[in-house]
Structure 1
Amino acid sequence: MRAVIGRQFGGIGDLSLEDVPSPSLESGTVRISVRAAGVSFANLLFIAGKHQNRPSLPFIPGTEVAGIVTEIASDARTELQVGDRVCAGLPSGGFAEEAIVDAANVFKIPPSLSFAGATLFPTIYATAYAGLVWRANLKPGEHLLVHGAAGASGLAAVEIGRALGARVIATAGGESKIAAAKEFGAHYVIDYKRDDFRDPVLKITGGRGADVVFDPVGGDVFDNSLRCVAPLGRLLPIGFASGRIPQIPANIVLVKNLTVIGLYWGFYMAWGKTKADAALRGRVKTLFEELFALHGAGSLRALVDQTLPLSQFGDGLRRVERREVIGKIVLAPGD
């Protein structure tokens, strides 16, 4: 099969497209013929060896795939069948024509959902939903501040926040990204390239501040969010696209009675050394059912910015690196 291979940690230029043996089916797993693989900022960290999910060498990047089930291990506890259209989350191995995935992390997709659109569900929509519903307990009428609102993670939070009945305040940079955030459900959009978001957020909320902050950016954005979050507010740091991991002043957390809530979606998918228990895995299954229902109702549109053949993986990664993407870049191994 063809796959994108990294034989050392580094940059995009250290990857190559190679012909390699198909991976072996392991206990409890499913083989998927990959029709679409999502490209994300987390891939750049993974390639550099800076992601919390650090692979052994050599590695195949990619954590979000959609395709067709072609083989199921005899001991896999699953209702899936060969031929099912599915999406799946995996710790690595997505940028390839075939992927082997833990059967518990493979989900049958509805007929209305394209393979490309389905790549947004295994980590992007799942992270936003788990963060806003499970962790932050976002309530109807609350103000939700979403940063990086035109990227895949941000747009997902905008859509889910709107579906949950929140008043969504989005930050994005530039006219096209502002327009996308508005189109996908933000009630208010702030162009961070022109304005500091603190004062507009306080004005929108009548001086109180945002009840929940969804932050995939980190750095200065997180620091400034502390200045416009409401008392008893909840902050969700779900990534550090800015490149700087912020330090949290405990005095502000104390004075405002804040809750800073971590969310690593890989824990629920049992990617790390600390495994989620069976009850949590059951919640994951229900979460995907709820996400697919929201998609069926038209609340989640799964925006794909561009689909590229696998051979153009470098172009897709560079567009993500340059912050040019609105929605999701997808690789199509079959093209």
Structure 2
Amino acid sequence: MNQFQYVRAVSSKTAVATLAKDPSAKFIAGGTNLIDLMKNGVTAPQKLIDINNLPLAEIKKQANSLYIGALATNSGVADNKLVLQNQPLLAMALNAGASAQLRNVATVGGNMMQRTRCYYFYNTDLPCNKRQPGSGCGALEGINRMHAIFGFSQQCIAVHPSDMCVALAALDATVLVSRPKGDRKILFTDFHRLPGDHPEKDNTLAKDELITGVEIPDNSFGKNIHYLKVRDRASYAFALVSVAAALNIKNGTIKEARLAMGGVAHKPWRLTEAEKALVGKPASEETFKHAAEIAMQGAKGFKYNSFKLKMAPNTIIQALKTASATA
């Protein structure tokens, strides 16, 4: 690990100003991903700006939404009464991620900013356009079992690793951002990027911006919800495929639906067309199978991950069946 400067920010304004002055600087809070990247030589910031003292850990109910500060820990959010009452799907997704020890330290903002766990990204001896633009994508013809079946490019087929972000995408969350020219908001589904020709860019956050929190609008998804994560082992493993499903069912008919997938794309993969196909239909297996077929349009497998083409729709169907049966 290279030497670096360490400073503590006393306000969001000074944190952003310090970052803007140093192109190589990075924010650090829980550090559960950043420190690993530094140890592996994937990134080498010359300055770390500790933001843990900023007042950004609050969770509160607002008029028409739930606010969660960027420094709230994953376990703190998952166990919070307001979250459990208003956005239980988020709590379910958070509890499916990482280990209890990591959830106690990892923050909401850090979870959003975490980088792919692609083998080629982490191994600095191998080509990776995300780590070193122009070097090639080793996963295209390499070991690509964990990789994307949607939204990939010839430059990158890595997937986003978060469980929390899949739920936030499904729940129409908004990202709150602080910057030198004033605050702004980003729709969560617009926050993460597809790789295109610039896979080194994970999201739409500018260099001089700081995530301060997220807002989740009120909804009717307090009952018929489920987060299903298919992985190689029962805990502390990233998703092969995951599905966040939320339904508003009245008299057996689906009035509203939200669906998003993880483990299948460079960003949380919102299934808007499948959602539309569910609305107005009976909460039946036939309906769910039809929605899964629509969700899989455009999917393409690679040598070692083609099993996802069957696993993904089956996971969607099972998530919807479980959600619809929730008492």
TM-score (norm 2): 0.24
TM-score (norm 1): 0.24
